[in-house]
Structure 1
Amino acid sequence: MAVYTEVSDEALRAFLSGYELGELLAFRGIAEGVENSNYALRTTAGDFILTLYEKRVDPQELPYFLGLMRHLARHGLACPEPVAGLDGEALRELAGRPAAICTFLPGVWPRRPGVAHMAPLGAALAALHAAGEGYDIERPNALGPAGWAPLLERCRPNGDTVQAGLCDELDAQLRGILQDWPRDLPRGHIHADLFPDNVFFLDDADRQPRVSGLIDFYFACTDLLAYDIAVCLNAWCFEPDRFSNAGQFNVTKARALLRGYAARRALTEAERNALPVLCRGAAIRFLLTRLYDWTNTPPGALVTRKDPMEYLRRLRFHAQAEGPGAYGL
């Protein structure tokens, strides 16, 4: 459930009086997502998404996120564009929470991504990286390499309750990742969380999926562009545990994703060679955040816990990868 803060009709109508969006026609909570409260909003001016930012989002970082989304949208990327109020500001307050209205994007996210989704995904990711050029504000990646050792320390008191010896294994993996981490690859603004539920698709005239929008930029930051690819390889190219061939890496999907990306932005040789360690880093990042939530989330908290062991299996795969050929290159 992703409606943590309820909004009354009266409060919403007062809030909308600060915009030129016409009259309110419909309003409902959106059940997907885990970080913020989201509402589908329809007015006489069209369809929009209202987001109330909950406690896990730092309000001081919202201008970066909203500014990046505006920049990307205005440079041709299909992503939500924040709507400014009558005072010219997009970030406002509603029900005691920072809040913003963004444009609505059509489409649905794929519950079971197939090979046909991969090339459009790769092309959309490359388009995001290109559109981000010229956005001058930077945001360090708080969940990048500098944050992994401190996060592991926070997991250590309860980490081995998930699996015996887990923290020792992660210690060894992390030492190797940080030792091998590349320093001089191309950098820019990245999404850093482009999981299937953050990518909308529609079918084209030939019934082939095309990306209709990228959403949820609240982990976006300034980092290695190829790290964003590694996040996608982890999130899209392993068969989910609930399906046959559970946990297996699908190299056909990976090859299609990378070819789709390269059709819009060619990878450097250094980026190609760095894919195994970048994928190890992306795997340990999501493993650690999941492990922390798994062992520290009290009942009734806003965070939806996800199984960290899924990413341990992925980390082990990447640790055995011998060069970019493991990913279909």
Structure 2
Amino acid sequence: MAVYTEVPFGEAAALAEKLGLGTLTELRGIQGGIENTNYFITCVTDGVAQEHVLTVFERLGFDQLPFYLRLMQHLARKGIPVPGPVADGSGEILHTVQGKPAAVVEKLRGRSELSPTAGHCQAVGDMLARMHLAGRDFGLQQPNLRGLNWWNDTVPVVLPHLAASQRDLLTAELAYQNHVAALPAYTALPRGPIHADLFRDNVMFEDGRLSGFFDFYFAGCDTFLFDLAVCLNDWCIVHAEGDDDGQHDETRAQAMLAAYQAVRPLTSAERQLLPAMLRAGALRFWLSRLWDWYLPRDAAMLKPHDPGHFERVLRARLARLPDLSVPLLDAAPVTA
């Protein structure tokens, strides 16, 4: 979470006081991520220090942000461990810092597991399914802003920067995903609010137990299967230097899928299109990383992610076709 907007200490202190958080004692920029400005803020009340996260939104506007913040509030009330937004005395959870929209949320306890075991993947699959069920009655609607429409708009922008083999792969996969989106089976996929970016660094564990999901600022209404595929593409693959990077990990994938389906079994349409959504998830993050890599914004502490990783994930998914769906689903029950 790069720092694009330098927040003066005094302004942060005034916001903390307005929110009843106490006296601000520390304001520390957060390194990692590339979309918004994020700070850890430490406040003291009656001698007790507490940490929260201050986010200044760089691309999302005041009209879009109620969806994200109210979704987090809704999920927290349903028992899903997410950081609740902090309201001021009038109940407002969307604030202004340096003339930009901002929010302060609770800081989750624990740490991310960047080398997850099958047990970690099982916990994520279980909670992801519970989150999908909890969000079905959420009243606000907003599309996945990094979905198919964004892919169609962005591919032409990055193509000039790529080698011929990359251009061929990117354009072919985009054409395939447009084809999939027109299928009746795709139309039948269950939908609702999804996280859409639930990578390993957006989940916390404490004492071996999942303690929370966070960073919902790519969330939107889309297929639950796409959300699951995004998780499988980060949690259940090999992360390594060299040729193995991006390869499927069967044990972790089975653990995540079995746990997910124990809570919300996949439909026949979801089973049919899981391979396509795994490809879609790889395409989405390859494309966004290409965009950030070749068209970066100025920011302190900005470290764009290597786009080559998700190119390898996509190629690995393509190499497993047409038998991808069978080993991924053998161990889990499926409903019609």
Q: Which residue of 1 aligns with 2:68?
A: 65
Q: Which residue of 2 aligns with 1:246?
A: 245
What displacement does 1:323 show? 4.5
What displacement does 1:77 show? 0.6
- State the distance in 1 between where 2:279 and 2:61 align: 27
- State the distance in 1 between where 2:99 and 2:180 align: 45
What displacement does 1:139 show? 0.8
CA displacement, residues 181-203 of structure 1 (integer Å, 9 cap, x when unaligned):
41211001000000000000112
Q: Does the 8 Å contact 1:5/1:52 carry over to 2?
A: no
- The structure 2 residue matched to 1:159, chosen from 141, 159, 162, is 162
Q: Which residue of 2 aligns with 1:99?
A: 102
Q: Which residue of 1 aligns with 2:31?
A: 31
- State the distance in 2 between where 1:256 and 1:178 align: 30
What displacement does 1:260 show? 1.2
- The structure 2 residue matched to 1:184, chosen from 176, 188, 197, is 188
CA displacement, residues 151-204 of structure 1 (integer Å, 9 cap, x when unaligned):
1111122122xxx3211222122222321341211001000000000000112x
What displacement does 1:234 show? 0.7
- State the distance in 2 between where 1:90 and 1:48 align: 17
- State the distance in 1 between where 2:312 and 2:247 align: 9
1:86 pairs with 2:89: yes
- The structure 2 residue matched to 1:115, chosen from 115, 118, 121, is 118
What displacement does 1:316 show? 2.1
C-alpha distance 12-90 of structure 1, shift in aligned 2 (>3 A): same
TM-score (norm 2): 0.88
Q: Give the aligned residue type for 2:106.
A: T
Give the 5 Å matches for 1:247-262: 247-262=246-261
Q: Which residue of 2 aligns with 1:223?
A: 222
Q: Does the 8 Å contact 2:108/2:211 carry over to 1?
A: yes
Q: Does the 8 Å contact 1:290/1:307 carry over to 2?
A: yes
Q: Does the 8 Å contact 1:48/1:101 carry over to 2?
A: no
Structure 1 counterpart SS, 2:42 = strand
1:235 pairs with 2:239: no
Structure 1 counterpart SS, 2:187 = coil
Structure 2 counterpart SS, 1:102 = strand
- State the distance in 1 between where 2:250 and 2:125 align: 14
User: Higher mean Cα deviation, 165-174 or 301-310?
Assistant: 301-310
C-alpha distance 259-288 of structure 1, shift in aligned 2 (>3 A): same
1:15 pairs with 2:19: no
Q: Which residue of 1 aligns with 2:213?
A: 214
1:126 pairs with 2:125: no
What displacement does 1:281 show? 0.7
- State the distance in 2 between where 1:59 and 1:242 align: 41
C-alpha distance 68-86 of structure 1, shift in aligned 2 (>3 A): same
- State the distance in 2 between where 1:27 and 1:46 align: 13
What displacement does 1:12 show? 2.6
Structure 2 counterpart SS, 1:60 = coil
Q: Which residue of 2 aligns with 1:276?
A: 275
Q: Which residue of 2 aligns with 1:199?
A: 203
Q: Does the 8 Å contact 2:3/2:302 carry over to 1?
A: no
User: Higher mean Cα deviation, 54-63 or 243-252?
Assistant: 243-252
Q: Give the aligned residue type for 1:196.
A: R
- State the distance in 2 between where 1:246 and 1:275 align: 21
Q: Which residue of 1 aligns with 2:333?
A: none
- State the distance in 2 between where 1:40 and 1:244 align: 41
Q: Give the aligned residue type for 2:44.
A: T
What displacement does 1:86 show? 1.3
Q: Give the aligned residue type for 1:277.
A: A
Q: Does the 8 Å contact 1:231/1:279 carry over to 2?
A: yes
Q: Which residue of 1 aligns with 2:312?
A: 313
- State the distance in 2 between where 1:71 and 1:262 align: 23
Q: Percent identity?
A: 38
Where does the alignment leave 5 or more consecutive residues of structure 1 unmatched?
Answer: 204-208
- The structure 2 residue matched to 1:55, chosen from 46, 54, 58, is 58
What displacement does 1:265 show? 1.1
C-alpha distance 323-87 of structure 1, shift in aligned 2 (>3 A): same
Q: Give the aligned residue type for 2:199.
A: F
CA displacement, residues 28-85 of structure 1 (integer Å, 9 cap, x when unaligned):
3333333222223233276242323242333321111111110110111100101110
Q: Give the aligned residue type for 2:122.
A: A
Where does the alignment leave 5 or more consecutive residues of structure 2 unmatched?
Answer: 331-336
Q: How many residues align?
A: 321
CA displacement, residues 224-258 of structure 1 (integer Å, 9 cap, x when unaligned):
01110000111111111238943321011100010
C-alpha distance 179-312 of structure 1, shift in aligned 2 (>3 A): same
- State the distance in 2 between where 1:139 and 1:149 align: 18
